[in-house]
Structure formats: C-alpha cells, structure tokens
Amino acid sequence: MSAPDRIDELRRLIADADHAYYQLDAPSVPDAEYDRWMRELRELEATHPEFVTTDSPTQRVAGKPSSAFAEVRHAVPMLSLNNAFADDEVADFVRRIVEATGESEPAFSVEPKIDGLAITLRYEHGVLVQGATRGDGTTGEDVIANLRTIRAIPLALRVPAGLPVPEVLEVRGEVYMPKAAFERFNERAHAAGEKPLANPRNGAAGSLRQLDSRITAKRPLAFFAYGIGEVQGFGLPATHSVLLKSLAGFGLPLAPEVDVASGLDGVLAYYRRIGVARETLPYDIDGVVYKLDRRDLQEQMGFVARAPRWAIAHKFPAQEEVTSLEGIDVQVGRTGAITPVARLKAVRVAGVVVTNATLHNADQIARLDVRVGDTVVVRRAGDVIPEVARIVPERRPLAADGSPLHPAFVMPTTCPECGSAVERAEGESVMRCTGGLYCPAQRKQALIHFASRRAMDIEGLGERFVEDLVDFGYVQTVADLYRLTLDDLLAMKRRADARDGVTPETVKQGKIATRWAENLLGGIDQSRNTALERLLFALGIRDVGEATAKQLARWFGGLDALIAASVDELLAVPDVGPVVSARIHGFFAEAHNREVIAALRERGVQWLEGPPQRTAEGPLAGKTVVLTGGLSAFSRDEAGAHLEALGAKVAGSVSKKTSLVVAGEAAGSKLDKARELGIEVWDEAGLLDFLRAQGRIA
Ligand code: IVH
C-alpha cells in the first residue's frame, strides 16, 4: 500500500473509532491499537509532510463538543501530555531537562495518570461558577450541572483561616468512576437487561455527557485535582508539588499516590512502585505522570505543539489487545464446572502471549454476543486469567445476505469429557457435569475426597498416590480402588520412581515399597465396611456435607430408597432445600454414577442400613398436620415436604390426634371437622409466614 493510501486508511479508522468513542460512548477498539494507529499516522505524516491536512486527527487533541452543551472557551488552554512507553524515552525526557536547566538531579512531582476525563473547574471568589470538559483543548463543553453532582468536587473552596480568597482559581483534574462503582453499575445493568459500560473511563465520560444531570447524579463519579488554569489574586507557590498541597488545602481531592521524586532513578522507581500497586488501587490508571517540580523551570522549558516539555506521561503496558476468535472450546474443571474457553489468534497482552481466554459461562457468552470469527478484545490484568472483554461488532464476518457468517455458540448439554448430563442449578450461572464419580476431569478430586478421613477414611491414600494411580491408569473411578492388587501397586511405584528419576530396587527399598503397598491395600480393605452416612458423604455430591449426608441416611435408611427418591421427597428432608434436592436427584439420575455405585457393591463395599427415621427433630416434632383445600404458592406435596422437614408427621385425615390443620382455598369437610374438634387451623398465609420464619422459603 502506498503512503498516501495508508494515511487515508489510518485517518478513516481513527475517525470511526473517535466517533464510536466520543459520540456514541461505545469504544470499538482498545487504546493500544488506537495508539498504534496514531503513532503510525504521525510517523507517516512526518516523513510525508506534503500529505498533512487540517482535518487529520493528528491536528486536534480530542473530539468536538456535542452541540447539546454550551461551549466554553478556556482562558488558559487545556494541554495534553506526551507519552513515553519505555524507560529510554523517559531517560531522553530527563536528559533534555537536565541540559536545558542545568539541574543535575531535577525534582519531579510524580502522580498517577488517572484514566478518566479531564475537566476544569472555575472558582470565582471561592465559589464554583463554571465547569467544562477539555474538548479540543481551546473550547470545551459546559457540564457544570453534571459536575455539581459529584460530591468530591467542592461547591465552594474551603479557604484556610487567615488566607485571602483567590479572585479566580481554575482547577484542572480528572473525573473518574471508581472500579467498585463500575462493577456495581454493570451488575445492575445486566440484571435490568441494559447495556453495560465497556470500562470505568467510559462510565465517567458517558455520565458527564448526560444531558439530564439527574442521571449523572446516580452514577458514583469522583475527582482528583492535578493542576491549574487561570489564576488571579492568589500567590502561586514555587513548586508544583506545593501547589497541589495548597489545592488540597482548599478542599480539592488529590490522589494519595502523589509524591516527589528526583532524577531518572527516582521517577523510574516510582513507576515500578505504582505498577505493583496498580491492581489494588480503587481506580483505573494507565500510567504515571512526571512533572518538573519547579515552576520557574517549567516556564523556562515551555511547550511544544500542545504539550509541555516539562512533563511526560509514562504509560503502563496495555492490558487490552485485539485479536480474532478462532474457536470456542469447553473445559471441565476438577469440580465439574464447565467453562467455555476462547481459542485466539496469538497476541501479546501486557508482555505475555495469550492464545486462550476465558469466556466464563453461557450468560457471559450471551452478554458479549460473541461468535467464532469475531474480532475480540482480550484483557489481562496482573495474575488474573485473560478474558474476552468485548467484541468489535463492526468487524464481524458476514455472509452475502448480511447475516453473521458463523452461528451463535451453544453450550453442550452433555459433558465433553464423559458424556454425562450437564445441569445448571437455579440461580447459578455455572453449568456442571453431573457425572462426579465417573468423569475423568473430576477423577482426582473425587478420589481424594472419597479417601479422606471423614469420608471412607482410607489410610495411606494421600493426594500424591491418587495422582499417580490416575496418571498411570490404575484407577478410573472410586470403585477401581477395590480391585487393586499388590502387583498393580508395585508396578505403579516402579513407574513413578522411573518418572521421578529415583533409582530404587535395592533390596531395602524394594521391601519398603512392598510394605507401603501392603499397608495401602490394608487401608482400602478396611474401608470396605462403613456407615451409610459416610458413604453418602464420600460420593462427593455437591453441597452434600457431613450433616446433610447424616440426615439423608437417617431419613431414607438405605441407599436404594435415596436413589429412588423424587425431588419433592428429598425436599422433605431437614436441611435439604430446593437446590440441594435438585443436585442429589441429578447425581443419582446420572446412570454413570449409579454404575460406579453398583461396582462398589460388587467389589465388596458394604454399609450399614437401617429403618427410615422420619420423626422427631424440628419445631413441629411430635405434631401431626393435615393439609386440605387448594394452595396457591405450591402443591400440597411440596407443602407437606416442608412440614415434614420441620419434624411434622403429615396425615390424610383429621382425628383427635391431629395437632394442626392447614386449610387452603375451598377447604371442605376436613376443615369443618377440625373446627368441631377445636383443632388449630392455619390459612395459607399463616403457613407461608411460618415457613418463612423457619427459613424454608424466601
Ligand atoms: S497533567 C499540561 N496530570 O492525561 C499537563 N494529566 O494526556 C496537562 N491525566 O488530559 C495534564 N492524570 O486527562 C495530568 N496527574 C495527571 C493526570 C493527567 C490523568 C490525563 C488528563 C490529561 C491527559 C493528558
């Protein structure tokens, strides 16, 4: 491509991105790519000055003010900063200052570069009278109504006693949306089915551009001051750092990280310190800013184009990059959680090559509206797993008829590892494989839990041996433990030693290995006789802890009765709510799990069973309750299950032994009889109040 063609293309790309960002408040490309386009365009224009035009994006600082806001001409222009991305660019900057000022170790005001929106606040006689965005640097938008809603911005300066009130003081700084507020905003937006914000900066920009300041007021924005504009009737301090302190003295917020550093070493140390703290700061920053501290020296250095020569922004590596989505895989975790994973065309993000990124879950895929072939924005922050942050909808590949070329992604209904059914509990976004006892992805986890002390208590079977047994293929399911032989264990040990580079086979070590294997086999053998509640806990059904396992064992008496129980019958068990009853039911509904249980039985695992005990315990223990008439909140079976779970015996007919009658809509003869016998009667509302008080329903 020729230089003028590429220049045209870059200008169009940048103009489109500006439009999406500034006018639509919907960024289409990450900053890193935008910055690269700008750099390339600047370089091309520098080598081909004959192609520079006034409408090139390099010739302006930011977007045009929206026609809906009044224009404000800045008394002192709002400038921009030059960027440095590498240490040697910072070294050049410091060297120029040393050369121009003769200071060998110049002092700098060092500040976080807040990722928000630059604004100016004009205080006249101490009162806030005007507030505007930067706009193109000369003319901005009057957004005072919106700025007044930000509580971090004082409506009047707090002038310390004994000091004169400045006639005019223009304060410059950054409006931003704190990370936590941004997260909360998006959670709510998602719940309400509204469009989420792409990032906190867009949250701030979009909020300030609201024509209705009542909307802005609902967005928790904040503000940090970092400089001044026009000043009259106020003696300015000699250094920028002291100036910032006086602003703080007037009640203007300063970023707590603001500091003073000297020379190149000092500023670079600050850069690294803030880089480490970046993740934990409550607001987004995209770099740090170094400003020559002495104001007389600043004046001496002056400006070049629209940026001061006495200051520079040292940017952090971008945390977002664009690439293309080549496929979507589905991974099964150790707990059975099924996670969709994006397979990406390799891209460097913040110094690391990324080829996979999490898509979290089906909800997230729907929210992102992501498809194979899409251009996507990947984000990587610190040690967090890279994720797909959003897509670039304009770059979706389309078929000839304008419809998307690739179909929407659908989550599998069976586990990609083992084919067991996949389920999603009410109110959860995670999908899980139900084949906990069978699924290879969950094997190690299942075995470790099964063998643990409070479960089957298999002595000698620690995590390390579980790993080896599975890795060398001696054990697939928990039932396989019960057919291990001495030869198996010794062979496994030899393979593990060979893998670890241990040379065994001295007679002594051989004996130790044999003793270890015999002990383990003894431990496994001992675990063959256990209690039903231990077995139930050992099965590793999600959310079935020891207490629930105990209740289940007591309630059903035997495993077969539990396996055959319906969701409603499970709901009757104390401690068992709708989510857990669905999980238990789903677990036993999965044939793979039942096969493993059958294999356990076949290989001699036994557990004590007894008669079901469904009485006593709970506030209704010893009471006999009769349900009659129609209920609207749930079926009579469900209501009965709740009452049983609280200790009641539920009966079909009213007699002298009846303690309580719950009478729904159009209750007939049973209600009459209860009245006759003087038995306590509740209506449906009374029942619901009671169940609510007992925490059975919400
Ligand atoms: S000083 C004459 N200090 O970065 C210097 N700017 O690219 C004017 N920013 O428009 C800016 N934190 O939106 C300065 N501590 C800081 C800053 C900061 C964020 C933003 C601001 C400005 C842009 C310059």
Model pLDDT for residues 252-283, shown as the tens digit of each residue: 999 999 999 999 999 999 999 999 999 899 99
Number of domains in the chain: 5
Of 288, 298, 243, nearest to 101 by C-alpha is: 298
Whole-number Å distance, alpha carbon 413 to ligand 1 midpoint, is 51
One domain for residues 283 and 331: no
- pLDDT tens digit sequence for 215-259: 777 788 899 999 999 999 999 999 999 999 999 999 899 999 999
> Whose C-alpha lies nearest to ligand 1, atom 2?
79
| Alpha carbon separation from 647 to 192, 343, 625, 640 (Å, rounded) | 40, 53, 10, 11
Residue 74 located in a structural domain: no
| Beta carbons of 32 and 377 less than 8 angstroms apart | no
Percentage helix, strand, coil, to 5, in the chain? Answer: 40, 20, 40
Residue 401 located in a structural domain: no
Q: What is the pLDDT of residue 23?
A: 42
Ligand 1 site residues (CB inside 6 A) read 79-81, 111, 113-114, 118, 134, 174, 226-227, 289, 308, 311, 313
Q: What is the pLDDT of residue 60?
A: 46
Q: Return the structure tokens found at 617.
A: 């315990």
One domain for residues 197 and 271: yes
Whole-number Å distance, alpha carbon 321 to ligand 1 midpoint, is 23
> Which of these is catalytic: 113, 315, 493, 670?
113
| Alpha carbon separation from 81 to 131, 168, 287 (Å, rounded) | 21, 25, 12
Q: What is the pLDDT of residue 636?
A: 82
Backbone φ and ψ of 406, nearest 5°: -110, 145
> Whose C-alpha lies nearest to ligand 1, atom 23?
80
One domain for residues 386 and 489: no
Residue 75 located in a structural domain: no
Whole-number Å distance, alpha carbon 82 to ligand 1 midpoint, is 10
> Whose C-alpha lies nearest to ligand 1, atom 17?
113
Atom in ligand 1 nearest the alpha carbon of residue 307: 2
One domain for residues 329 and 467: no
Residue 338 located in a structural domain: yes
Of 113, 241, 316, the one to substitute when testing ligand 1's pocket (max ligand atoms within 8 A of C-beta) is: 113
Of 315, 347, 375, which one is at a domain's C-terminal end? 315
Q: What is the pLDDT of residue 210?
A: 78
The residues, any chain, with a CB within 8 Å of residue 423's CB and separated by 6 or more, are: 431, 432, 434, 582, 586
Q: What is the pLDDT of residue 22?
A: 47
Of 553, 583, 614, which one is at a domain's C-terminal end? 614
Of 367, 395, 423, which one is at a domain's C-terminal end? 395
User: Which residues of the chain, if any, have pLDDT below 70?
Assistant: 18-26, 54-55, 59-67, 382-383, 504-508, 615-616
Give me the sheet containing 660-663, strands edge to edge: 649-651, 624-628, 660-663, 680-682
| Beta carbons of 267 and 290 less than 8 angstroms apart | yes
Whole-number Å distance, alpha carbon 626 to ligand 1 midpoint, is 73
Q: What is the pLDDT of residue 25?
A: 53
One domain for residues 332 and 371: yes
Distance CA 102, CA 585 (A): 80
> Whose C-alpha lies nearest to ligand 1, atom 9?
113
Of 22, 31, 79, 81, the one to substitute when testing ligand 1's pocket (max ligand atoms within 8 A of C-beta) is: 81
| Beta carbons of 477 and 469 less than 8 angstroms apart | no
458: β partners: none
pTM over 0.85: no
Q: What is the pLDDT of residue 195?
A: 76
CA atoms within 13 A on the CB side of 239: 15
One domain for residues 547 and 418: yes
Give the structural domain span for 683: 624-693
Q: Return the structure tokens found at 580.
A: 């857990």
Q: What is the DSSP string of 345-386?
A: EEEEETTEEEEEEE--SHHHHHHHT--TT-EEEEE--TTSPP
Question: Does the active-site annotation cover 113?
Answer: yes
Whole-number Å distance, alpha carbon 118 to ligand 1 midpoint, is 7
